[in-house]
Amino acid sequence: METGWKTYQWRGGRMKRRGEVIEGEIFECAFCRGSGFLAGAKGIKCPVCKGEGAVSIEAPAVVCAFCNGRGKAYPRTNITCPACFGKGVMSAGSEDIETCPICKGRGREKGSNLPCLKCRGKGVVTIKR
C-alpha cells in the first residue's frame, strides 16, 4: 500500500500502553493481523480491512482499551470489537486527552462486558478547557 501517509506497524498485542497518543494515519488491521484474510478460514477476506491488510484512522489515534488493540471482542473468536470495530486503534480526537474517570482507562465499566459510555471504549476522554 503506497501512500504519502505516515504508518505505524505492529504485530498483534499492544503497540503502546493504553491512553498513549500514536501518530500516524494508516495502521495494520488488528482483526486479521495484516494478512487481509480471516484466520482459520480459507480465502475469506477480512471484513474490517476488506482484504487490504491495513486500516485508516484519523490522527491522532490511541490503542483501543476495550480489546487492548486485538480487534476482537473476545479471544479466539471472529467477533469484531464493539468499540473499535476490529481496527485495534481509535481516533483520539485531539492530543489533549486524559484517562477516563468512569472506567479508569479499561474501556469498560467494572462488571460490564460493554464499552464504557463516557469514553466509548477508548479509555481516554478529551480534556475540556
Residue 6 placed within a domain? yes
Indicate the pLDDT class of residue 73, thresholds 50, 70 and 90. Answer: confident
In a domain, 119, yes or no: no
Q: Is residue 79 part of a domain?
A: yes
Confidence of residue 17 (pLDDT cuts 50, 70, 90): low
pTM as predicted: 0.75
- Domain enclosing residue 89, as ranges: 1-93
Q: 21-50 pLDDT, tens per residue?
A: 777 788 888 888 888 888 777 788 999 999
Provide the number of structural domains found in the chain.
Answer: 1
Please report the pLDDT score of residue 11 as a whole number: 40
pLDDT at 77 over 80: no
In a domain, 128, yes or no: no
In a domain, 129, yes or no: no
One-letter amino acid at 51 equals G
Confidence of residue 2 (pLDDT cuts 50, 70, 90): very low
Is 54 within a domain?
yes
Domain annotation covers residue 84:
yes
Domain assignment present for 126: no
Q: Looking at residue 41, what is its pLDDT? A: 76
Categorize the per-residue pLDDT at 13 as very low, low, confident or very high, splitting at 50, 70 and 90.
Answer: very low
pLDDT of residue 9: 44
